[in-house]
Structure 1
Amino acid sequence: MKLILAEKPSVAKNIADALKIKTKQEGYFEGEDYIVTWAFGHLLQLYDAKDYDQQFAKWKMEFFPFIPDSFRYKVKSNPRNRDKPDSGAQKQLKIIERLLKRREVDTIISACDYDREGQVIGDSIIYHFKTDKAVYRLLLNEWTPDEVMNGLKRLKPNTELRPLQDAGVSRQWADWVIGINLTSVATLKYQKGKGKALNIGRVLLPTLKIIYDRDKEIEQFVPENYYKLQATFETKTGERYEGTYFENEEDKFKAKAPLEAVQQSLIDSKAFVSDKQVSRKKEYPPYLFNLSNLQGHITNRYRGWTSDKVLKVAQKLYEKKLITYPRTASTALEESLVGKTAKVLKQVTDGLPYQHEISFYKSKRVFNNAKVESHSAIMPTYVRPKKLTADEAIVYEAIKNRLIMQFMPIAEFEETILHTALVNAKLSGQFRSKGRVQLVEGWKKVEQIKSKEAMLPNVEKQEAVALKAHEITTHVTKPPQQHTEKTLLKVMETCGKHIDDSTEEQDEGTLKAILSGFSIGTPATRAETIKKLKDIGYIRAEKKILTCTPLGCKLVETFPIKELFDLEFTGRLEKALADIEKRTFSKTQFLQFIFQFTRRSVDVIKAGQDTIIHEVERAKRTNEVLGACPVCGHSVIEGYKGFGCTNWKKGCSFVIWKNDKFLASMKKKPTRTMVKGLLKNGEVMVKGLKSKKGNTFNARLKYVKNEDNDYFSWKMRF
């Protein structure tokens, strides 16, 4: 009997379906040869500092630096009360332990995601119970029935994945040590008043610095005027076209006087076409999506989307067997996937109006082992979606369309460049005009991408034309554009190297940087980093624009550990983790460096100048009773973080958090008036809620206890 451990219940269900297991028990599926159970992501977490020593329950500067002799794990904490274990995680761990110890189970298969985090999730659970049974790894890029069955035939001993586990644990321990130590001492040193800590993190700070630097560039930008000379010419047939004066390939002039002199020469002058260049050019489709490019594409195209939301939706599609593994850095497919891709392409293009234009072939642009690291680019699977939410449809269609584009004809256009000169005028420059005509629409047809075409009249070289008008126009240089999630993700992906905001294409230098692991964070963590920067108040988002808050600016300008703001430093750390996976760098070396860096950083902060970066203003709280607790009948009062039951010390968990995610998704926060109405009447009318599309609406809300756990959920009626 084999026991399979999946990362999530939905993946366990996919595996059970592939194995045709119908019997479901509490916490697992059981068939004749296989038992399939699941985690809920991380069921175990690293100890908090106070779990090692109770003195850390209150932070004091002399307690730090603190680096445990050995890192220990516990059941993950209840998100509403961090001092207690999560009851759901605790229950599922007991089920897994019982299954692991069953006499007839002789083999354990970890089927968690094929990445660092997935390896740590599976290993932390399996080895927590000190099993001596054989452990194998199921490594899949998708959860379709065919792939599950094929994967079970080619299992790998889990020992072969030790480098992946070492990289995952190194990342986890490093972030714990840096986060716990530097967050604690920074908060004690630079914050006045009690409240949220000053969050310090290995990936948070360089990301913040990217936005800060762009904000400063814009702030310090000094606009300059420049001038252009535009002329209108007319052919013998009465067709007109525009031209811009240029000298030495430059058409922007810092001074107006030289252009005014040129303008004088134009009076009563005749013109002719001095040169005509016509070239046919090809436009290739953008590469297949990796996660960063998918996030950039969606957040740039659709209002209200964040990179975090794109990842969550893509993860759902992956768990529904509709797309391949989304947390990838690659924009190409493994060459072994040629046959599978042909099958998928046939499936997703069936019935399309341009189906006859699609031609599958083994393109080096699409299938290239040299451009794949761990996981291939994202593509659909052969499973056809039956029902998708509106959000899922947006992400799925983008991924499907990007695959189809690769096998459509290459788009082609004709570009014409005309040079127009003046007869007898002694000018050192000429007028240049550009025009283009789309000849082959090709892959652009998939998403109906229209090219901006400037048509030029059909004139020949040496042909005379009439000068009809001319004017000098004034322009102003523009500052760099503020960062959006799309541009920020690109900078994070390669530590700012080889970045061109205007395209989703990647040159060889960009690909080399990505595939070597030289980046800020990983595809899986970048969205979470951006979200956290917003949540802790270091950056703000207004529509698509990301900017630093005053707190974020103060932190960058004051916090003395400048390495943590340095993209190169963080990029080298991320590359070291990638090298641990490749067995070219050791976990021991990496952690020794992190521990030394942390000790040194704590000493620098302690010895530095006392200054206040953040002053927490706490509003005075009253003990006004807002109503009776619906669970135990005790009083509900307002606290710093939420409206909660006064009986919480004896175990009552009723609370409405002030940062409640459901309400926040509709741009609302709970108020005392709202809570009073809710406790008195069981429901409350809430006005001014915002839909995902930005529409305002009113609704009645209830806060109801879930049947299967101790938590409450919102119910809405109109």
Structure 2
Amino acid sequence: MRLFLCEKPSQGKDIARVLGANQRGSGCFKGTGVSVTWCIGHLVEPAPPEAYDERFKRWALEDLPIIPSTWRVHVKQDTLEQFTIVKQLLAQSSELVIATDADREGEMIARELLDLCQYRGAVLRLWLSALNEVSIRKALTCLRPAAETERLYHSALARSRADWLIGMNMSRLFTLLGRRSGLSGVLPVGRVQTPTLRLVVDRDRHIERFVAIAHWSIELRLIALEQTFTAKWVAPDRATDEAGRCIRQAVAQQALTALRQAQHAQVTELRTQRIKDAAPLPFDLSTLQETCSRKFGFGVQETLDIAQALYETHKATTYPRTDTGYLPESMWAEAETVLEALVLSDPSIEKLIQTVDRGRRSRAWSDDKVTAHHGIIPTLEPFCLDRLSKDERTVYELIRSHYLAQFLPLYEYERTQVRLDCASNGLLAQGKRIIEPGWHRALKPDQAFTEDDASERSQVLPALAEGDQCWVQKVELKALKTQPPKAYTQGELIRSMKGVARVVTDPRLKATLNDTAGIGTEATRANIIAGLLKRGYLYKKGSSVHASQAALTLVDSVPSAIADPATTAIWEQAFDKIEAGQLTLDDFIAKQTCWVSQLVEHYRTTTLAIHSCSGPNCPLCGAPMRQRTGKHGTFWSCTRYPECRGALPLAAEGNDMTRHRKRRRSKPYG
């Protein structure tokens, strides 16, 4: 019997329908000579330290480091029934087809089961990028030998074991050191979560320590050829900082007086540049999450859940957990079918699709740049658009627009810079004129790229020439201050996690990192952020996220190498090398084991400097609290505010909150 092992029941149902396995069994579907079952995610998980030795139930410094000689997994109790079903089906099967998600985690979900159940039959791999019928049938005709994807399993094991070594040893070590310093509770240290916290902590501290610098700007309204436009005064070098801002008020005031007395400004130089912008690539998951966060205010987990529903439930888009926006060149031949399916799903876009160039091949199709998965695009088959929720439709239309953009012309515009002289002062005016909207026609107004349009460069300038004179209509001095960096939104945090090389300042580490080096994976980043929010290490404030006092304590306590995002990014590159066959699993784990052992020995006798502002736990939800100041003074506020409005008076700094447990307020103190 051939057995198909899927990751989720919904996948199993889709594949079983195509295979004709229509007989529903307990935890499976059966047909003639074929069965389909599923894992419900991970059915097994890494064994805890006490599974290796009973004494590890008690946390003690003398027992560290804990280094397994032979790694173990055990069956998760809440899915024991499904594990038993899968094990029985494996015993009855002569051939297995791994049909879990086509990524590292999917590979590990299946192969850990095969190892635990000691399966010895033939193994093949079904590699799916979409769950619609056409895609499943196509994938079934080209099953891969299991050996082709085995290194994915080794890469996933490397990640899992590195997480275990760091999490189990460092969490115990720093929790025990924290207790010596009077800190109650657990200090959880994670290979990915701690560097993620570090990103937010660093940004929050940068904002907190930011010192504003005063500067002055002069803006002029000019008229030429019966058209009004805006120009800005160009301050002399002696009065500017490195960013070109005028930091000497006296110089700005002197220029203001001269400009207000002038009647004309003369064009001294004019430069026009024609710019052609290619269409953005189809989405990868991180870019989709960042875009939905910025444009629609969606949380990153919310975006992932929607993208997963579009893939699994509605069969509207392809596999979402991808790290690239490029497409295989072979998929270009399927474009005609995809475009026809788009019209059948949504007749309202027929007029737009009639304008696309179906023979156009954009930069998106490139075999060299496709990884294990390709960009997120619409599927080959129509679906019922009316079944989508409002948010699902918003994300679907965004994905669809980026696919349609591949078949539309380049976006072309002219960028013009005009330099003028006014009362011996230099002025600069910038303008933009759209020549060909091109692929922008595929975008709805809320999807358009408006960052550039928000600047004065988006204005349309009159048809000026060198020597032309412009009337001075208005002159205005603006007293400004430099602004601190903005706090992270969830989408921007995902972006920094993915491209961590951009935020690393150490030149040695920066040289080691690839330009695309990141922390976490497309499949895990949203869960990492969600977990930090749930445990109170991050909290939301409007659309931004901030680090709680507990996060400051954690980041300040652990070794800088563990908290440094560059370290984890280097490990992620090691996982890629394992997948590529350039590094073995055993060599990687040996290096990790040595490193963790050295850290334990180095920090075993350290005294932690507990953050002075650490507060009590929230009496409502248990999350850490932080000090806030309101109209009635300073008080303790839940770090999950406004989701949780728990609050305590400042005097309540101990952990004995019994007398405050029953006190619930609709508003915080202050």
Range of TM-score over shorter length: 0.7 to 0.9
Deviation at 1:667, TM superposition (A): 6.4
**Compared CA separation, residues 153 and 470, structure 1 to 2 (3 A):** closer
Equivalents in 2 of 1:412, 1:383: separation in Å? 33
Q: In structure 2, what is the equivalent of residue 21 of structure 1?
A: 21
**Compared CA separation, residues 263 and 101, structure 1 to 2 (3 A):** closer
CA root-mean-square deviation: 3.1
Letter of the structure 1 residue corresponding to residue 431 of structure 2: G
Equivalents in 1 of 2:555, 2:367: separation in Å? 40
How does 1:463-612 map onto structure 2 within 5 Å?
A: 463-497=468-502, 513-514=515-516, 518-559=517-558, 561-612=559-610
Equivalents in 1 of 2:75, 2:503: separation in Å? 43
Equivalents in 2 of 1:478, 1:665: separation in Å? 25
**Structure 1 residues not aligned, in runs of 5+:** 77-84, 500-508, 621-637, 642-663, 670-685, 689-718
Equivalents in 1 of 2:548, 2:444: separation in Å? 37
Deviation at 1:261, TM superposition (A): 3.4
Deviation at 1:469, TM superposition (A): 3.5
**Compared CA separation, residues 640 and 227, structure 1 to 2 (3 A):** closer
Q: In structure 2, what is the equivalent of residue 393 of structure 1?
A: 393
Q: In structure 2, what is the equivalent of residue 316 of structure 1?
A: 309
Q: Tell me the alpha carbon deviations over residues 92-146 of structure 1, each in whole angstroms, 9 at most, x when there is no partner.
A: 12211221222xx321111111111111110111222112211111112122222
Per the normalisation by structure 2, the TM-score is 0.83
SS at match of 2:354: helix
Letter of the structure 2 residue corresponding to residue 590 of structure 1: F
Identity rate, percent: 27
Deviation at 1:617, TM superposition (A): 5.2
**Compared CA separation, residues 421 and 66, structure 1 to 2 (3 A):** same
1:129 corresponds, among 112, 117, 136, to: 117
Preserved contact between residue 193 and residue 616 of structure 1 (Cα < 8 Å): no
Deviation at 1:217, TM superposition (A): 1.5
**Compared CA separation, residues 316 and 418, structure 1 to 2 (3 A):** same
**Compared CA separation, residues 242 and 181, structure 1 to 2 (3 A):** same
1:98 corresponds, among 88, 94, 99, to: 88
Q: In structure 1, what is the equivalent of residue 653 of structure 2?
A: none
Q: In structure 1, what is the equivalent of residue 634 of structure 2?
A: none
Letter of the structure 2 residue corresponding to residue 565 of structure 1: A
Deviation at 1:595, TM superposition (A): 0.9
Q: In structure 2, what is the equivalent of residue 234 of structure 1?
A: 223
Equivalents in 2 of 1:406, 1:196: separation in Å? 53
1:444 aligns with 2:449: no
Q: Tell me the alpha carbon deviations over residues 608-662 of structure 1, each in whole angstroms, 9 at most, x when there is no partner.
A: 1155459785799xxxxxxxxxxxxxxxxx9999xxxxxxxxxxxxxxxxxxxxx
Equivalents in 1 of 2:201, 2:436: separation in Å? 43
**Compared CA separation, residues 563 and 430, structure 1 to 2 (3 A):** same
Q: More deviation in 394-403 or 199-208?
A: 394-403
2:249 corresponds, among 256, 261, 272, to: 256
Preserved contact between residue 538 and residue 547 of structure 2 (Cα < 8 Å): yes
Q: In structure 2, what is the equivalent of residue 149 of structure 1?
A: 137
Deviation at 1:440, TM superposition (A): 2.7
**Compared CA separation, residues 665 and 22, structure 1 to 2 (3 A):** farther
Q: Tell me the alpha carbon deviations over residues 24-70 of structure 1, each in whole angstroms, 9 at most, x when there is no partner.
A: 11111111131111110100111111222222222122222111111
Aligned residues: 604
Per the normalisation by structure 1, the TM-score is 0.78
Deviation at 1:238, TM superposition (A): 4.7
Equivalents in 2 of 1:565, 1:113: separation in Å? 30
Preserved contact between residue 332 and residue 371 of structure 1 (Cα < 8 Å): yes
Q: More deviation in 108-117 or 278-287?
A: 278-287
Equivalents in 2 of 1:414, 1:240: separation in Å? 19
Equivalents in 2 of 1:364, 1:196: separation in Å? 54
How does 1:208-357 map onto structure 2 within 5 Å?
A: 208-235=197-224, 238-246=226-234, 252-266=245-259, 267-268=261-262, 270-303=264-297, 305-320=298-313, 321-349=315-343, 351=347, 352=349, 353-357=351-355
Q: In structure 1, what is the equivalent of residue 172 of structure 2?
A: 184
How does 1:451-466 map onto structure 2 within 5 Å?
A: 451=453, 453-466=458-471
**Compared CA separation, residues 271 and 97, structure 1 to 2 (3 A):** closer
Equivalents in 1 of 2:327, 2:362: separation in Å? 10
**Compared CA separation, residues 438 and 349, structure 1 to 2 (3 A):** farther
Equivalents in 2 of 1:617, 1:415: separation in Å? 56
Larger helix proportion of the pair: 2
Q: In structure 2, what is the equivalent of residue 44 of structure 1?
A: 44
Preserved contact between residue 322 and residue 384 of structure 1 (Cα < 8 Å): yes
2:195 corresponds, among 203, 206, 227, to: 206
Q: In structure 2, what is the equivalent of residue 60 of structure 1?
A: 60
Preserved contact between residue 178 and residue 184 of structure 2 (Cα < 8 Å): no
SS at match of 2:429: strand
Deviation at 1:5, TM superposition (A): 0.6
Deviation at 1:600, TM superposition (A): 1.5
**Compared CA separation, residues 665 and 368, structure 1 to 2 (3 A):** farther
**Compared CA separation, residues 582 and 257, structure 1 to 2 (3 A):** same
Equivalents in 2 of 1:3, 1:107: separation in Å? 6
Equivalents in 1 of 2:262, 2:322: separation in Å? 64
Preserved contact between residue 134 and residue 381 of structure 2 (Cα < 8 Å): no
2:103 corresponds, among 104, 108, 115, to: 115
SS at match of 2:604: helix
Equivalents in 1 of 2:393, 2:644: separation in Å? 24
Equivalents in 2 of 1:430, 1:533: separation in Å? 51
Q: More deviation in 602-611 or 523-532?
A: 602-611
Equivalents in 2 of 1:665, 1:510: separation in Å? 41
**Compared CA separation, residues 337 and 419, structure 1 to 2 (3 A):** same
1:369 aligns with 2:367: yes
Letter of the structure 1 residue corresponding to residue 284 of structure 2: N
Q: In structure 2, what is the equivalent of residue 3 of structure 1?
A: 3
Q: Tell me the alpha carbon deviations over residues 342-364 of structure 1, each in whole angstroms, 9 at most, x when there is no partner.
A: 32133214531322221123534
Preserved contact between residue 513 and residue 566 of structure 2 (Cα < 8 Å): no
Equivalents in 2 of 1:341, 1:667: separation in Å? 48
Letter of the structure 1 residue corresponding to residue 295 of structure 2: R
Deviation at 1:308, TM superposition (A): 1.6
Equivalents in 2 of 1:145, 1:355: separation in Å? 24
Q: In structure 1, what is the equivalent of residue 638 of structure 2?
A: none
Q: Tell me the alpha carbon deviations over residues 536-589 of structure 1, each in whole angstroms, 9 at most, x when there is no partner.
A: 222212122111111111222232x11012222211111001100000011111
Equivalents in 1 of 2:258, 2:326: separation in Å? 56
**Structure 2 residues not aligned, in runs of 5+:** 505-510, 624-640, 647-663
Deviation at 1:268, TM superposition (A): 4.9
Deviation at 1:489, TM superposition (A): 1.3
Equivalents in 1 of 2:103, 2:151: separation in Å? 11
Equivalents in 1 of 2:512, 2:489: separation in Å? 20
Preserved contact between residue 221 and residue 479 of structure 1 (Cα < 8 Å): yes
Preserved contact between residue 6 and residue 36 of structure 1 (Cα < 8 Å): yes
Preserved contact between residue 231 and residue 429 of structure 2 (Cα < 8 Å): yes
**Compared CA separation, residues 160 and 442, structure 1 to 2 (3 A):** closer
